[in-house]
Protein backbone atom coordinates (compact mmCIF):
# COMPACT_ATOMS: atom_id res chain seq x y z
CA UNK A 1 0.00 0.00 0.00
CA UNK A 2 1.36 3.45 -0.92
CA UNK A 3 1.82 6.41 1.44
CA UNK A 4 -1.41 7.82 -0.03
CA UNK A 5 -3.88 4.94 0.17
CA UNK A 6 -6.76 4.61 -2.24
CA UNK A 7 -9.90 5.01 -0.17
CA UNK A 8 -13.30 3.85 -1.39
CA UNK A 9 -16.54 4.87 0.31
CA UNK A 10 -19.21 2.23 -0.31
CA UNK A 11 -22.86 3.22 0.10
CA UNK A 12 -25.51 0.53 -0.52
CA UNK A 13 -28.85 2.24 -1.20
CA UNK A 14 -32.52 1.46 -1.63
CA UNK A 15 -34.97 4.35 -1.99
CA UNK A 16 -32.75 6.96 -0.31
CA UNK A 17 -33.56 9.96 -2.51
CA UNK A 18 -34.12 12.14 0.56
CA UNK A 19 -30.78 11.34 2.23
CA UNK A 20 -28.19 10.23 -0.30
CA UNK A 21 -26.99 13.69 -1.36
CA UNK A 22 -26.40 14.69 2.28
CA UNK A 23 -24.54 11.42 2.88
CA UNK A 24 -22.28 11.89 -0.15
CA UNK A 25 -21.52 15.49 0.79
CA UNK A 26 -20.59 14.46 4.33
CA UNK A 27 -18.12 11.78 3.23
CA UNK A 28 -16.63 14.00 0.51
CA UNK A 29 -15.89 16.63 3.15
CA UNK A 30 -14.49 14.09 5.63
CA UNK A 31 -12.44 12.15 3.02
CA UNK A 32 -11.69 14.56 0.17
CA UNK A 33 -9.43 12.11 -1.66
CA UNK A 34 -11.81 9.16 -1.54
CA UNK A 35 -13.91 7.78 -4.40
CA UNK A 36 -17.54 7.49 -3.37
CA UNK A 37 -19.54 4.59 -4.79
CA UNK A 38 -23.32 4.34 -4.57
CA UNK A 39 -24.75 0.91 -5.36
CA UNK A 40 -28.47 1.15 -5.98
CA UNK A 41 -30.64 -1.89 -5.20
CA UNK A 42 -33.69 -1.46 -7.47
CA UNK A 43 -34.85 1.86 -6.03
CA UNK A 44 -38.20 3.11 -7.25
CA UNK A 45 -37.38 6.78 -6.54
CA UNK A 46 -34.66 9.13 -7.85
CA UNK A 47 -31.83 7.76 -5.69
CA UNK A 48 -29.55 7.06 -8.67
CA UNK A 49 -30.11 10.43 -10.32
CA UNK A 50 -29.56 12.36 -7.07
CA UNK A 51 -26.40 10.37 -6.28
CA UNK A 52 -25.02 10.93 -9.77
CA UNK A 53 -25.72 14.66 -9.55
CA UNK A 54 -23.92 14.71 -6.19
CA UNK A 55 -20.77 13.36 -7.88
CA UNK A 56 -20.76 9.73 -6.80
CA UNK A 57 -19.90 6.75 -8.97
CA UNK A 58 -23.31 5.09 -9.35
CA UNK A 59 -23.81 1.40 -10.09
CA UNK A 60 -26.68 -1.07 -9.79
CA UNK A 61 -27.22 -4.49 -8.23
CA UNK A 62 -30.39 -6.21 -9.44
CA UNK A 63 -30.47 -9.00 -6.83
CA UNK A 64 -32.51 -7.62 -3.94
CA UNK A 65 -30.99 -7.50 -0.46
CA UNK A 66 -28.15 -5.69 1.28
CA UNK A 67 -25.98 -8.80 1.37
CA UNK A 68 -26.18 -9.10 -2.40
CA UNK A 69 -25.19 -5.44 -2.75
CA UNK A 70 -22.21 -5.85 -0.40
CA UNK A 71 -21.07 -8.93 -2.34
CA UNK A 72 -21.10 -6.93 -5.57
CA UNK A 73 -19.33 -3.93 -4.05
CA UNK A 74 -16.55 -6.01 -2.52
CA UNK A 75 -16.02 -7.81 -5.84
CA UNK A 76 -16.08 -4.73 -8.08
CA UNK A 77 -14.27 -2.00 -6.18
CA UNK A 78 -10.48 -1.97 -5.94
CA UNK A 79 -8.93 0.09 -3.15
CA UNK A 80 -6.54 -0.05 -0.18
CA UNK A 81 -9.07 0.97 2.47
CA UNK A 82 -12.84 0.62 2.29
CA UNK A 83 -15.35 2.70 4.24
CA UNK A 84 -18.86 1.21 4.26
CA UNK A 85 -21.92 3.04 5.53
CA UNK A 86 -25.61 3.31 4.78
CA UNK A 87 -26.93 5.98 2.43
CA UNK A 88 -29.55 7.24 4.89
CA UNK A 89 -27.47 9.99 6.58
CA UNK A 90 -27.67 8.28 9.99
CA UNK A 91 -23.93 7.66 10.40
CA UNK A 92 -21.47 10.45 11.14
CA UNK A 93 -19.01 10.96 8.25
CA UNK A 94 -16.80 13.08 10.51
CA UNK A 95 -15.60 9.87 12.20
CA UNK A 96 -14.38 8.33 8.94
CA UNK A 97 -10.94 9.97 8.75
CA UNK A 98 -9.98 8.86 12.27
CA UNK A 99 -11.24 5.34 11.57
CA UNK A 100 -9.20 5.10 8.36
CA UNK A 101 -6.11 6.43 10.10
CA UNK A 102 -6.47 3.93 12.92
CA UNK A 103 -6.73 1.04 10.45
CA UNK A 104 -3.42 2.12 8.95
CA UNK A 105 -1.56 3.05 12.13
CA UNK A 106 -2.50 -0.10 14.05
CA UNK A 107 -2.56 -2.47 11.08
CA UNK A 108 -6.19 -3.44 11.69
CA UNK A 109 -8.44 -5.28 9.27
CA UNK A 110 -11.72 -3.80 10.48
CA UNK A 111 -12.99 -0.92 12.56
CA UNK A 112 -16.63 -1.03 13.68
CA UNK A 113 -18.40 2.28 14.22
CA UNK A 114 -20.26 1.67 17.49
CA UNK A 115 -23.41 3.74 17.42
CA UNK A 116 -24.03 6.35 20.13
CA UNK A 117 -27.50 7.82 19.72
CA UNK A 118 -29.16 10.71 21.52
CA UNK A 119 -32.48 10.97 19.70
CA UNK A 120 -35.04 8.29 20.60
CA UNK A 121 -36.21 8.09 17.00
CA UNK A 122 -32.65 7.35 15.81
CA UNK A 123 -32.55 3.84 17.23
CA UNK A 124 -35.72 2.09 18.36
CA UNK A 125 -35.74 0.36 21.77
CA UNK A 126 -36.62 -2.98 20.21
CA UNK A 127 -33.52 -2.77 18.04
CA UNK A 128 -31.35 -1.82 21.03
CA UNK A 129 -32.58 -4.86 22.97
CA UNK A 130 -32.18 -7.14 19.95
CA UNK A 131 -28.64 -5.89 19.41
CA UNK A 132 -27.68 -6.63 23.01
CA UNK A 133 -29.21 -10.11 22.92
CA UNK A 134 -27.57 -11.05 19.62
CA UNK A 135 -24.24 -9.58 20.73
CA UNK A 136 -24.36 -11.75 23.85
CA UNK A 137 -25.24 -14.86 21.84
CA UNK A 138 -22.36 -14.22 19.46
CA UNK A 139 -19.95 -13.79 22.37
CA UNK A 140 -21.05 -17.11 23.88
CA UNK A 141 -20.81 -18.97 20.59
CA UNK A 142 -17.50 -17.58 19.36
CA UNK A 143 -15.72 -16.52 22.54
CA UNK A 144 -15.67 -12.79 21.86
CA UNK A 145 -17.83 -10.23 20.13
CA UNK A 146 -18.31 -6.57 19.30
CA UNK A 147 -20.26 -3.95 21.17
CA UNK A 148 -22.49 -3.26 18.16
CA UNK A 149 -22.55 -6.20 15.76
CA UNK A 150 -25.36 -4.71 13.67
CA UNK A 151 -23.59 -1.46 12.87
CA UNK A 152 -23.40 -0.80 9.14
CA UNK A 153 -20.59 1.73 9.58
CA UNK A 154 -17.27 -0.07 9.15
CA UNK A 155 -13.80 0.47 7.74
CA UNK A 156 -12.02 -2.50 6.16
CA UNK A 157 -8.56 -3.33 4.93
CA UNK A 158 -8.14 -4.68 1.41
CA UNK A 159 -7.26 -8.14 2.66
CA UNK A 160 -10.53 -8.34 4.61
CA UNK A 161 -12.66 -7.34 1.64
CA UNK A 162 -10.94 -9.56 -0.91
CA UNK A 163 -10.91 -12.65 1.33
CA UNK A 164 -14.50 -12.41 2.56
CA UNK A 165 -16.87 -14.92 0.88
CA UNK A 166 -20.21 -13.12 1.25
CA UNK A 167 -23.02 -15.67 1.64
CA UNK A 168 -25.83 -13.58 3.14
CA UNK A 169 -28.48 -11.94 0.99
CA UNK A 170 -30.10 -9.46 3.39
CA UNK A 171 -29.49 -7.39 6.52
CA UNK A 172 -27.84 -10.34 8.26
CA UNK A 173 -24.66 -9.38 6.35
CA UNK A 174 -23.31 -7.42 9.36
CA UNK A 175 -23.51 -10.57 11.48
CA UNK A 176 -21.67 -12.58 8.85
CA UNK A 177 -18.96 -9.91 8.61
CA UNK A 178 -18.47 -10.01 12.38
CA UNK A 179 -18.27 -13.82 12.46
CA UNK A 180 -15.73 -13.82 9.60
CA UNK A 181 -13.45 -11.49 11.57
CA UNK A 182 -13.85 -13.49 14.77
CA UNK A 183 -13.25 -16.85 13.10
CA UNK A 184 -10.01 -15.79 11.42
CA UNK A 185 -8.90 -13.95 14.58
CA UNK A 186 -8.28 -10.75 12.65
CA UNK A 187 -6.96 -7.62 14.36
CA UNK A 188 -10.05 -5.44 14.76
CA UNK A 189 -11.20 -2.43 16.74
CA UNK A 190 -14.18 -0.28 17.61
CA UNK A 191 -14.77 3.47 17.58
CA UNK A 192 -17.78 5.23 19.07
CA UNK A 193 -19.57 7.38 16.51
CA UNK A 194 -22.73 9.44 16.61
CA UNK A 195 -25.90 7.98 15.19
CA UNK A 196 -28.60 10.32 13.91
CA UNK A 197 -32.27 10.07 13.13
CA UNK A 198 -33.15 9.76 9.45
CA UNK A 199 -33.85 13.03 7.62
CA UNK A 200 -37.45 13.88 6.83
CA UNK A 201 -38.75 11.85 3.89
CA UNK A 202 -36.42 8.89 4.50
CA UNK A 203 -37.91 5.64 5.82
CA UNK A 204 -36.26 2.63 7.44
CA UNK A 205 -36.23 -0.62 5.46
CA UNK A 206 -35.76 -2.77 8.57
CA UNK A 207 -38.39 -5.15 9.93
CA UNK A 208 -37.68 -5.82 13.61
CA UNK A 209 -39.10 -9.33 13.80
CA UNK A 210 -38.44 -10.60 10.27
CA UNK A 211 -34.84 -9.38 10.16
CA UNK A 212 -34.26 -10.44 13.79
CA UNK A 213 -35.38 -13.97 12.92
CA UNK A 214 -33.13 -14.03 9.86
CA UNK A 215 -30.16 -12.81 11.90
CA UNK A 216 -30.76 -15.45 14.60
CA UNK A 217 -31.01 -18.10 11.91
CA UNK A 218 -27.76 -16.85 10.37
CA UNK A 219 -25.93 -17.10 13.72
CA UNK A 220 -27.23 -20.65 14.23
CA UNK A 221 -26.25 -21.63 10.67
CA UNK A 222 -22.78 -20.13 11.00
CA UNK A 223 -22.31 -21.91 14.32
CA UNK A 224 -23.30 -25.22 12.71
CA UNK A 225 -20.84 -24.58 9.90
CA UNK A 226 -17.95 -23.22 11.97
CA UNK A 227 -18.39 -25.35 15.14
CA UNK A 228 -19.76 -28.68 13.85
CA UNK A 229 -18.26 -30.79 16.65
CA UNK A 230 -19.98 -28.76 19.35
CA UNK A 231 -23.20 -28.38 17.37
CA UNK A 232 -23.67 -32.04 16.49
CA UNK A 233 -22.09 -33.14 19.78
CA UNK A 234 -24.85 -31.33 21.67
CA UNK A 235 -27.52 -33.07 19.58
CA UNK A 236 -25.79 -36.40 20.17
CA UNK A 237 -25.72 -35.77 23.92
CA UNK A 238 -29.45 -34.96 23.96
CA UNK A 239 -30.31 -38.17 22.10
CA UNK A 240 -28.03 -40.21 24.38
CA UNK A 241 -29.49 -38.71 27.56
CA UNK A 242 -33.03 -39.37 26.35
CA UNK A 243 -32.11 -42.95 25.48
CA UNK A 244 -30.49 -43.52 28.89
CA UNK A 245 -33.51 -42.04 30.65
CA UNK A 246 -35.89 -44.38 28.82
CA UNK A 247 -33.63 -47.39 29.37
CA UNK A 248 -33.52 -47.18 33.18
CA UNK A 249 -36.93 -48.85 33.76
CA UNK A 250 -36.05 -51.50 31.18
CA UNK A 251 -32.79 -52.33 32.90
CA UNK A 252 -34.45 -52.46 36.34
CA UNK A 253 -37.22 -54.77 35.06
CA UNK A 254 -34.72 -57.01 33.29
CA UNK A 255 -32.57 -57.24 36.44
CA UNK A 256 -35.59 -58.26 38.49
CA UNK A 257 -37.38 -60.62 36.08
CA UNK A 258 -34.95 -61.36 33.26
CA UNK A 259 -37.62 -60.13 30.82
CA UNK A 260 -38.04 -57.10 28.53
CA UNK A 261 -41.82 -56.60 28.53
CA UNK A 262 -41.78 -53.15 26.84
CA UNK A 263 -40.18 -54.18 23.59
CA UNK A 264 -41.20 -51.02 21.62
CA UNK A 265 -39.42 -48.87 24.22
CA UNK A 266 -36.31 -50.99 23.81
CA UNK A 267 -36.43 -50.43 20.05
CA UNK A 268 -36.85 -46.66 20.63
CA UNK A 269 -33.84 -46.61 22.98
CA UNK A 270 -31.74 -48.45 20.40
CA UNK A 271 -32.80 -46.00 17.68
CA UNK A 272 -31.99 -42.98 19.84
CA UNK A 273 -28.51 -44.31 20.62
CA UNK A 274 -27.89 -44.94 16.92
CA UNK A 275 -28.91 -41.34 16.18
CA UNK A 276 -26.59 -40.13 18.95
CA UNK A 277 -23.61 -41.95 17.45
CA UNK A 278 -24.50 -40.78 13.93
CA UNK A 279 -24.51 -37.15 15.10
CA UNK A 280 -21.25 -37.64 16.97
CA UNK A 281 -19.48 -39.08 13.91
CA UNK A 282 -21.01 -36.37 11.70
CA UNK A 283 -19.52 -33.73 13.97
CA UNK A 284 -16.10 -35.43 13.91
CA UNK A 285 -16.04 -35.66 10.11
CA UNK A 286 -17.28 -32.11 9.54
CA UNK A 287 -14.81 -30.74 12.10
CA UNK A 288 -11.96 -32.10 9.97
CA UNK A 289 -13.49 -30.58 6.83
CA UNK A 290 -14.00 -27.20 8.52
CA UNK A 291 -10.41 -27.16 9.75
CA UNK A 292 -9.15 -27.58 6.19
CA UNK A 293 -11.57 -24.97 4.88
CA UNK A 294 -10.52 -22.53 7.59
CA UNK A 295 -6.88 -23.01 6.61
CA UNK A 296 -7.76 -22.18 2.98
CA UNK A 297 -9.62 -19.05 4.07
CA UNK A 298 -6.66 -18.02 6.16
CA UNK A 299 -4.31 -18.48 3.22
CA UNK A 300 -6.63 -16.42 0.99
CA UNK A 301 -6.63 -13.73 3.67
CA UNK A 302 -2.84 -13.73 3.95
CA UNK A 303 -2.41 -13.57 0.17
CA UNK A 304 -3.66 -9.97 0.18
CA UNK A 305 -1.53 -6.99 1.29
CA UNK A 306 -2.27 -5.80 4.81
CA UNK A 307 -2.87 -2.29 6.12
CA UNK A 308 0.79 -1.60 6.91
CA UNK A 309 1.51 1.25 9.30
CA UNK A 310 2.95 4.45 7.88
CA UNK A 311 6.76 4.61 8.09
Q: Residue 131: which CATH number?
A: 3.90.550.10
- Asked if residue 186 belongs to a domain, the reply is yes
pLDDT over 90 at 146, yes or no:
no
pLDDT for 123? 52
Between 206 and 41, the higher pLDDT residue: 41
Number of domains, the chain: 2
The per-residue pLDDT for 122 is 47
Cα-Cα-Cα-Cα dihedral sign, residues 192, 197, 198, 200: negative
Residue 166 pLDDT > 90, yes or no?
Answer: no
Domain-located, residue 71: yes
User: What confidence tens digit (pLDDT) does each residue in 94-130 have?
Assistant: 999 999 999 988 989 999 999 887 554 445 555 566 6
Task: Over range 175-184, report the average pLDDT.
Answer: 86
Same domain? For 191 and 113 the reply is yes
How far is Cα 227 from Cα 235, in angstroms, rounded to an integer? 13
Q: Same structural domain for residues 44 and 188?
A: yes
Least confident of 118-122, 175-179, 192-196, 260-264: 118-122
Do 141 and 240 fall into the same domain? no
Shared-domain flag, residues 98 and 233: no
Which of 210, 226, 242 terminates a domain? The answer is 226
Stretch 212-235: mean pLDDT, rounded? 79
Of 199, 226, 253, the domain-final residue: 226
Taking 70 as the threshold, does the pLDDT of residue 238 lie above it?
yes
Query: Could you give the 3-state DSSP secondary structure of residue 37?
Result: strand
Q: In terms of domains, do 80 and 221 share one?
A: yes
pTM reported for the whole predicted model: 0.78
Q: What is the pLDDT of residue 70?
A: 94
Would 51 be classed as within a structural domain?
Answer: yes
As a whole number of angstroms, the distance between CA 292 and CA 74 comes to 24
Does 310 map to a domain?
A: no
Distance CA 292, CA 286 (A): 10
Say if residue 51's pLDDT is above 50: yes
Whether 40 maps to a domain, the answer reads yes
Q: Phi first, then psi: give them for residue 270, nearest 5 degrees.
A: -60, -45
Least confident of 31-40, 75-84, 109-118, 136-145: 136-145
Same domain, 107 and 254: no
CB 8 within 8 A of CB 79: yes
Domain enclosing residue 137, as ranges: 7-226
- Distance, CA of 147 to CA of 115 (rounded, Å): 9
pLDDT level of residue 158 (50, 70, 90 thresholds) = very high
Mark whether 69 and 193 lie in a shared domain. Answer: yes
3 state DSSP class of 176: helix
| DSSP H helical ranges for the chain | 20-30, 47-53, 66-76, 96-106, 125-142, 158-161, 173-183, 208-226, 228-257, 263-302
In 3D space, the residue among 219, 120, 128, 202 whose CA is nearest the CA of residue 168 turns out to be 219
The answer to whether position 109 is within a domain reads: yes
Q: Which residues contact 137 (CB under 8 A, 6 or more apart)?
A: 216, 219
pLDDT at 221: 76
Task: Determine the 3-state secondary structure of 121 from DSSP.
Answer: helix
Q: Are residue 172 and residue 280 in the same domain, yes or no? A: no
Among the residue ranges 15-29, 68-82, 107-121, the one predicted with the least confidence is 107-121
Same domain, 116 and 128: yes
Q: How far apart are the first and last CA of the chain?
A: 12
Mean pLDDT, all residues of the chain: 85
User: pLDDT: is 266 or 99 the higher one?
Assistant: 99
Task: Let me know whether 221 and 237 are in one domain.
Answer: no
Gap between the Cα atoms of 147 and 190, Å rounded: 8
Q: Do 219 and 266 fall into the same domain?
A: no
Rounded Cα gap, residues 298 and 219, in angstroms: 21
Q: In a 10 Å sphere around its CB, with 0-12 CB exposed, 13-18 middle and 19+ buried, how is residue 205 labelled?
A: middle
The mean pLDDT of 261-267, rounded to a whole number, is 82
Q: Are residues 255 and 200 in the same domain?
A: no
pLDDT at 310: 46
Amino acid sequence: MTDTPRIAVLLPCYNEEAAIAQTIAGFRYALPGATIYVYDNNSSDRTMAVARDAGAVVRQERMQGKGNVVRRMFADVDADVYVMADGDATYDPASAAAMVERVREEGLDMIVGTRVHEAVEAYRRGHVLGNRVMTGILARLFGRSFTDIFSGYRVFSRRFVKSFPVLSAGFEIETEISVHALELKMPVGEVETRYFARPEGSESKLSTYRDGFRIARTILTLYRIERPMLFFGLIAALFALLALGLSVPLVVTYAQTGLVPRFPTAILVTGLMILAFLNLFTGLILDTVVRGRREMRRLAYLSQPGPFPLM
